[in-house]
Amino acid sequence: DWNPGNVVAEQVERIRAQVGDARVICGLSGGVDSSVAAALVQRAVGDQLTCVFVDHGLLRQGEAEQVEKDFVDATGVQLKVVDARERFLHALAGVSDPETKRKIIGREFIRVFEDAAREVVEDAGAHGETVRFLVQGTLYPDVVESGGGEGAANIKSHHNVGGLPDDLQFELVEPLRTLFKDEVRAVGLELGVPEVIVWRQPFPGPGLGIRIVGEVTAERLETLRAADAIAREELTRAGLDREIWQCPVVLLGDVRSVGVQGDGRTYGHPVVLRPVSSEDAMTADWTRLPYDVLATISTRITNEVPEVNRVVLDVTSKPPGTIEWE
């Protein structure tokens, strides 16, 4: 019978056998897969593992803290945090094209991660140790998609490490390779990974960077983060989290419309609510959210986020609309 306790026990043995007393590094993104993979490896080899978290400043409200504090408290992992917020903002300045933004975010992410990895390697070297292994949260569906085969690690998003330079070649530790998503969540709960992480809905690697239509700026990020936090809070309060696949909140940074707020006329930005139901994100339908929940979200956002004076609902299925707006 499948049960998460057995998976943990089995994987802990396998990881110990593979890793021996070498050092291991893992990139944490705040998502389910990398978190559970890291927690498993931590359970197996403790402080031989160092996790690296690159804060690119494109996460939603509270998510960096969930990694830096809640995850660390719950699992005891050694964490190296890189605050790269300014660097990403600088690299994204003046850029509006979605694919260019993705490329920039992916490129910067790899550079920052490489630098951090190099520091971890040098640090270990100073103590006469070698970092030989890199943890990846590859799941069974990723293995199938990439044609299977040991070592056929599928680099699936900007959060995973692509072509590392020659002086940073690691062997892979992939403790989730046989698991489906729901099994990964069960294993995560078994390991005490915080529920907000275990049940996190899909969130794109480029984060809020592709949820601001137009240029990404610090002010726009702050606006979107505030609106998104309200939408998530109300959806959670209404008990809808597990019915919805994900609900991007999108800031139309280059659009302004006239409104009346407080004392007078405003010329603010709209945000779009994009609640979708899906099985695998390949196709999706827009979720028929209760009107009263929509009304609460709209009222709160326009009251509490002064830069936003209009909340609109996306009622397009996929296809033809993608889930994200960029």
Query: 42 is written with which tokens?
Result: 């931590």
**Interface map 215-254 toward ligand XMP (x if CB under 6 A):** -------------------------------x--------
Which runs of E-coded beta strand occur in the chain? 23-28, 49-55, 78-83, 131-135, 171-173, 212-213, 249-252, 257-261, 264-273, 276-277, 285-286, 308-313
Among 100, 178, 299, 322, binds ligand XMP (CB under 6 A): 322
Among 14, 85, 103, 318, binds ligand XMP (CB under 6 A): 318
Among 5, 125, 148, 202, binds ligand XMP (CB under 6 A): 202
Of 229, 205, 250, 223, the closest CA to residue 54 belongs to 205
**Interface map 84-113 toward ligand XMP (x if CB under 6 A):** ------------------x-----------
CA atoms of 262 and 64, how far apart (whole Å): 33
Query: 205 is written with which tokens?
Result: 């690697």
Q: Which stretch binds ligand XMP (CB under 6 A): 6-14, 191-199, 260-268, 317-325?
A: 317-325
User: Applying CB under 6 A, does 204 fall inside the site for ligand XMP?
Assistant: yes
Are 176 and 37 within 8 A, CB to CB?
yes
Size of the site for ligand XMP (CB under 6 A): 13
Residue tagged 């078994």 (tokens): 190
Residues marked as binding for ATP? 29-35
User: Applying CB under 6 A, does 324 fall inside the site for ligand XMP?
Assistant: yes
Among 205, 209, 268, 270, binds ligand XMP (CB under 6 A): 205
Residue 231 Cα distances to 31, 119, 213, 250, 294, angstroms: 19, 39, 18, 11, 9
DSSP SS3 for 82: strand
Residues in the chain: 326
Q: Which is nearer to ligand XMP, 115 or 324 (CB)?
A: 324
Q: Which is nearer to ligand XMP, 72 or 155 (CB)?
A: 155
Among 78, 157, 261, 316, binds ligand XMP (CB under 6 A): 157
Positions that interact with ligand XMP (CB under 6 A) = 102, 157-158, 202, 204-206, 246, 281, 318, 322-324
